[in-house]
Chain A
Amino acid sequence: MSMAIPYTVEPRPDTGLNNVKIGIWLFLASEVMLFGGLFAGYIILRVGSTDWQPGSAFGLSVPLAFTNTLVLITSSVTMVMAWASLIRKDFSKYRLYMGITVLCGLGFMVIKYIEYTSKFSHGYYPSTHIFLALYFTLTGLHGIHVIAGMGYNAYLWGPGAKMWETAPEQFTNRVEASGLFWHFVDLVWIFLFPVLYLL
């Protein structure tokens, strides 16, 4: 018999889903638990601390973080547009929107870099205070996620896009799965921004 794994591209009739769609959602469920654990740590440490200081005490810049929020939200919109362009078989539009998505991710990381270096230059390190420990750990782990999503999107923009010629449907599925991950990364930041900068 054929060795092909069924339902890699086309949905299974009774579940209505292909394998990749289920896989990425399960992965996101575990990611929710990861960041759930991190946020739970934040709550317990903040409530239990005798010397809690908000982000403003360490000069965290709300305008910079707000700009970053807008940058990520924009990238989420262009991510959807990229996928929708593939559905409409408009590959050049896909290239454009996916390119903007990757550049937005890059812009986010540049702003993050500026923020980090300004903290270091003021002598603020993870070991300085429990708030900074949380700030660097949470934004650091989020940053790793941004880099991972950006890297995969760049691959789908560049060399990975060759698949559009050979297997357009599977390529569209990949862009969709990558988009789901990217939206999740965006969503985590939507929580991180108020928690670390405003509250």
Chain B
Amino acid sequence: MSDHEHEHHEELSFWRKYVFSTDHKVIGIQYTVTALFFLFFGFCLMMLMRWQLAFPGKALPIIGALFGADRMPDGIMLPEFYNQLGAMHGTIMVFMGVVPLAVGGFGNFVVPLQIGAPDMTFPRLNMLSYWCYFVGGVIMFASFFVPGGAAQSGWTSYPPLSDIAPSGQTWWLMGMMALIFSSLLGAINFITTIIQLRAPGLTFFRFPFFVWAQFVTSFLLLLAFPPLQAASFFQLMDRVFGTSFFMPEGLVISGQLSEATGGGSPILWQHLFWFLAHPEVYVLILPALGIVAEVIANNTRRPLWGYKSMVYSLIFLGFMSFIVWAHHMFLTGMGSAMSAFFQTTTMIISIPSVIILTALILSLWGGSIRFTTPMLFALAFLPMFGIGGLTGLPLGLASTDIHLHDTYYVIGHFHYVVAPGTLFAMFAGIYYWYPKATGRKMSDFLGKLHFWPSLIFMNGIFMPMMIQGLAGMQRRLYDGGEIYAHTQTALHWHKVISISAWGLALAQIPFIINFFASLRKPKTAGDNPWHSTTLEWAAPSPPPHGNFTELPTVYRAAYEYSHPDHDEDYLPQFQADAQAKPAAATP
């Protein structure tokens, strides 16, 4: 790291500046663009599935022939291909889309700026983290083209099915290991950066809420991912060296007794997997809450309501997220004592979530709200995340979960959290920080043209899933449940959902145009276009290598909007002002 300080004297080559860069802003943008690509790709997989669900067994017109006879002969989707699409949609969206965007993208770009740091503590590890993610993504992408196709045992990869699946599953495990290593490096870097590189005067309780969210998220990534790494090693051993960690005694496959030596436990995988995957849910949502908090404070022109209780809730939530995992496993027969424990912790963890959401809603009260594009997405996030959270309660209670487990209700529930929830927050973040990253503002008109149809179609997709799930329709059915008597009353919703999904795709066109066309505008945004108070707005737009023209000092809390002793309606953290209350000065 010592030679890093010599680097800025020489002009960097194109490769060092834009491809193998150690600058957190370039890496953040690399993460953002790659993750947006994977989000689009994962969305395309799902749109294909929606064709099969809306019109089971019908040939997909025009593009159906492109997929080849081993996937869609004559344009009719094979069940194996449907399973690949389902497994890879989940994997790509969670591990290669939302998390890299929320943490690798926004975290990398914004956190060092918001704490007044010149870069991350370990810039080369940061670069390595991105390239591990990239390699993991390439492995996952390539797995579609190996014999037997990509992984097809769901994004959860439950054994014994995943143990005996075609070779795509091995690729899935290799890809996951690269992604886990990437997030490990990122997490170490974020925590160290936040602890060590804070600007003078920036105490922990002066952090913007987004920094807190990234801090807690990094601990979840650091401590929750390794058990999945362990589980992936076990499963890899099962698949490559013929061990039977997850293969039980006397397993019968297609009428044949399995040759595996047995003695293993399929439930062990579920425990190790959900030990990661439940904290992972909070990895998906906490950065989103952070972005929404920034945008809401900025656009209501008042401080966040209950900042400290939000921070304490965040920490408590991070801790609790490690002891709720088995609420995904109520139906495995693990026993009512275990179920009782995990449903209790699950009910407890809903309390801090509700505190944060309530504080955000109360922050709107009495504000002079500016309905900018980022604010529209942030405002829509609140009820959408609210629906997602509340519909989770019946799933967290062991008795009601018996009916709802593995139905479309589950899909509707968590998609409300991550799609119109987290993804809307991500869009809010992109519209909000785009001027900082590029020096240019995105079009407000196109932004609204993006927002309103997206909001309508999102609900058109996920609300009917709740109805289908309550009717008892199972998830992961190739024909959408056509052959079952009890799902007949809910089948027609498949068409509504599919048409909404394709409509949602069309609604992203204004965003894509806006994202690229705005790059051609003149750089007129200025350092602080939203009249914001946090440190990233003290840097030039876009910030140069090293970020700040001079080291900022922090004088006060993060959200001093409409300060009574100050003429303007915002008083930045970095502005030394004689009019500020003495108590707010640097200790």
A residues lining the B interface (CB < 8 Å): 1-9, 12, 15, 17-19, 22-23, 26-27, 29-31, 33-38, 40-41, 44-45, 48-51, 125-130, 133, 136-137, 141, 166-167, 170
Contact = CB atoms under 8 A, between A and B. Distances in A.
B495 interface: no
B226 interface: yes
24 contacts: A1-B551, A3-B118, A4-B4, A5-B4, A5-B123, A7-B197, A8-B121, A19-B121, A22-B196, A26-B188, A26-B191, A34-B229, A37-B229, A41-B231, A41-B268, A44-B265, A45-B264, A48-B265, A50-B249, A51-B263, A127-B243, A133-B243, A137-B243, A141-B233
Contacts of A38: 230, 233
Contacts of A40: 227, 271-272
Given A126-B237, A170-B2, A1 B546 contact: yes
A49 B243 contact: no
A34 B265 contact: no
A23 B4 contact: no
A127 B263 contact: no
Given A6-B197, A33-B224, 12 more contacts: A4-B4, A5-B197, A8-B121, A30-B187, A30-B223, A33-B222, A34-B227, A35-B230, A37-B229, A44-B271, A126-B237, A130-B263
Interface string B514-548: 00000000000000000000000000000001101
Contact of B545 (A3, A125, A137): A3
A145 to B, nearest CB: 13
B489 to A, nearest CB: 42
> Helix, strand, loop or mixed for chain B's interface?
helix
The residue among A1, A5, A36 with the most chain B CB atoms within 10 A of its own CB is A5
A38 B2 CA distance: 37
Contacts of B226: 30-31, 33-34, 36-37
A40 B269 CA distance: 11
Contacts of A48: 265
B399 interface: no
Nearest to B243: A133
Contacts of B187: 26, 30
B6 to A, nearest CB: 9
A181 B482 CA distance: 57
Q: Which 7 A-B pairs give the minimum distances between C-beta atoms?
A: A37-B230, A37-B227, A127-B242, A130-B263, A133-B243, A34-B226, A33-B226
A1 B227 contact: no
A4 B123 CA distance: 11
A29 B192 CA distance: 13
B261 A129 contact: yes
B144 interface: no
A41 B261 contact: no
Contacts of B229: 34, 37
B192 A26 contact: yes
Contacts of A19: 121-122, 192, 196
B195 interface: yes
Contact of A15 (B7, B196, B261, B546): B196
A129 B2 CA distance: 50
A12 B272 CA distance: 37
Contact of B549 (A1, A17, A128, A137): A1
A170 to B, nearest CB: 6
B15 interface: no
Contacts of A2: 5, 118, 546
Contacts of B123: 5
Contacts of B231: 37, 41
B551 to A, nearest CB: 6
A44 B263 contact: no
B8 to A, nearest CB: 5
Nearest to B237: A137
B196 A12 contact: yes
The residue among A1, A41, A126, A167 with the most chain B CB atoms within 10 A of its own CB is A41
B184 interface: yes
A37 B119 CA distance: 33
A27 B188 contact: yes
A48 B120 CA distance: 46
B434 interface: no
Contact of A23 (B2, B7, B188, B262): B188
Nearest to B245: A133
B408 interface: no
Contacts of B120: 5
The residue among A7, A9, A133 with the most chain B CB atoms within 10 A of its own CB is A133
Contacts of B272: 37, 40-41
B16 to A, nearest CB: 14
B579 to A, nearest CB: 28
Nearest to B249: A50
